[in-house]
């Protein structure tokens, strides 16, 4: 089971350090028995090797070791923090930062050459969802163009775009249908759900047979809330 907290553009270096300190204390006292990952903003990255229960990951990177990529962060910079896992394909980067499938595939291939763990995000917009399951399936498979689904450090997060940050999660039976379809093809790759996960819906979502965890934004911003979600997953 993977539980991942995506901070997006929230938290500072100071508040991230306090968050991780509290999270590690909580996990010391009650080990999660699952894979806990936290993705702070790049400016708040802390040395991943200093934390024993939590994996720290990068929300973004440029697919190069280093070079002339103004404003970007490459492998040399992430290595300095011992970062070994990354998010790729988040819908906010696809929509707001205009990351194309081609560029996303480039990032994926680069991350794989670095041996990083990847949470690869896919998800359909509302109009596609409204067109029915077949349309959703076609859209989601399109987001695997250029992606090596046999990469062994891959987890896939299904995040319907209309459910992200809206407080409206997808219906559990709809999540089940999509995750079952993905599992059929992706076999042993862990599958996460993301999109307005909270303490009320986490249990029913992670109980689904094809669900191996959750990628959580808003409900994980407060460390006490994230610990509560971990406690729910422990049950």
- Asked if 124 is an active-site residue, the reply is no
The residue among 176 and 216 lying less far from ligand PEP, judged by its C-beta, is: 216
The residue among 8 and 55 lying less far from ligand PEP, judged by its C-beta, is: 8
For residue 50, the minimal CB distance to ligand PEP (Å) is 25
Query: Which of 92, 99, 143, 159 is the catalytic position?
Result: 159
Q: How far is CA 82 from CA 75, 78, 94, in A?
A: 10, 6, 26
Crossing angle, helix 13-29 and helix 223-234, to 10 degrees?
30
For residue 214, the minimal CB distance to ligand PEP (Å) is 8
Q: Output the DSSP codes for 33-91.
A: SSEEEEE--GGG---GGG-SSEEE-BS---SSSSSS-TT---HHHHHHTT--EEEE--H
Q: In the chain, what is the straight-line distance between the N-terminal and C-terminal CA atoms, in Å?
A: 12
| Contact (Cβ atoms closer than 8 angstroms) between residue 107 and residue 64 | no
Q: Coil, helix or strand for 169?
A: coil
Task: For residue 84, give every residue at least 6 positions away whose Cβ sits within 8 Å of its Cβ, in sequence order, or none.
Answer: 48, 55, 57, 115, 116, 117
For residue 166, the minimal CB distance to ligand PEP (Å) is 7
For residue 24, the minimal CB distance to ligand PEP (Å) is 22
Q: Coil, helix or strand for 123?
A: coil
The residue among 58 and 75 lying less far from ligand PEP, judged by its C-beta, is: 58
Query: Which of 11, 90, 92, 99 is the catalytic position?
Result: 90
The residue among 136 and 216 lying less far from ligand PEP, judged by its C-beta, is: 216
- Asked if 90 is an active-site residue, the reply is yes
Residues in contact with ligand PEP by CB under 6 A are 6, 8, 159, 164-165, 194-197, 215-219
The residue among 57 and 194 lying less far from ligand PEP, judged by its C-beta, is: 194
Please tell me what DSSP assigns to residue 30.
S
For residue 159, the minimal CB distance to ligand PEP (Å) is 5
The residues annotated as belonging to the active site are 90, 159
């Amino acid at each position: 089971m993977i539980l991942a907290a995506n901070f997006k553009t929230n938290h500072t270096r100071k508040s991230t350090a306090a968050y991780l300190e509290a999270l590690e204390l909580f996990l010391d006292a009650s080990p999660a028995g699952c894979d806990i990952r936290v993705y702070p903003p790049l400016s708040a990255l802390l040395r991943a090797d200093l934390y024993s229960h939590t994996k720290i990951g990068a929300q973004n990177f440029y697919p190069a070791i280093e070079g002339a990529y103004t404003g970007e962060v490459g492998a040399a910079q992430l290595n300095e923090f011992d970062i070994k896992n990354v998010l790729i394909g988040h819908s906010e980067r696809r929509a707001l930062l205009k990351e194309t499938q081609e560029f996303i595939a480039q990032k994926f291939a680069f991350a794989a050459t670095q041996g990083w763990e990847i949470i690869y995000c896919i998800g359909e917009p509302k109009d596609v969802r409204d067109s029915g399951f077949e349309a959703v399936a076609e859209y989601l498979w399109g987001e695997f163009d250029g992606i090596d689904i046999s990469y062994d450090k891959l987890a896939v997060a299904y995040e319907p775009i209309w459910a992200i940050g809206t407080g409206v999660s997808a219906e559990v039976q709809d999540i089940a249908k999509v995750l079952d379809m993905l599992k059929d093809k992706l076999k042993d790759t862990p599958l996460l759900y993301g999109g307005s996960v909270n303490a009320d819906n986490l249990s029913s979502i992670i109980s689904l047979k094809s669900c191996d965890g959750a990628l959580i934004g808003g409900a994980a911003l407060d460390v006490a809330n994230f610990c509560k979600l971990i406690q729910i997953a422990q049950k």
